Structure 1
Amino acid sequence: LSQFGAVPVSPRNAAKLMKAGEVVLLFPGGVKETVPSRDEKYALQWPDKSEFVRLAAKYNATIIPFAGVG
């Protein structure tokens, strides 16, 4: 997905992008969740601690929740 501009999910990368005024689309489970392998059973990947909401508030970013099925 790096060909499409994706970067590894981390608070540091998100902060750099938001500071530069970039739009950030965050998938909580990352690439592993958005493109699961056929051999794996689906399981939501959600970290115990997340800095992303605090980062959004710090950079006055708008959070738009979304979901997709199928």
Structure 2
Amino acid sequence: MDTSQHSMHNLFEQLGLPSSEHDVEQFIRTHRLFSQDIRLDKATFWTESQAEFLREAFEEDSDWCEVVDELDSRLRS
């Protein structure tokens, strides 16, 4: 069982995205979610597999849930 803490860097790697601090900040600036009505996993910029990973993180309350929630919050602020 993996008990390590996941970071935003790790999440972006898991999603197959560039994961440097600059890349993460650029992604967040570029992909703002302006509506509270859109679930994170339903945003149009995810691939099907990325959306599935994010959905499962929430639904299964996985060890990724906290960092996925942080990403959701940062995309809405």
> Taking structure 1 as the reference length, what is the TM-score of the superposition?
0.33
Structure with larger Rg: 1
Structure having the larger proportion of residues in helix? 2
TM-score by length of 2: 0.31
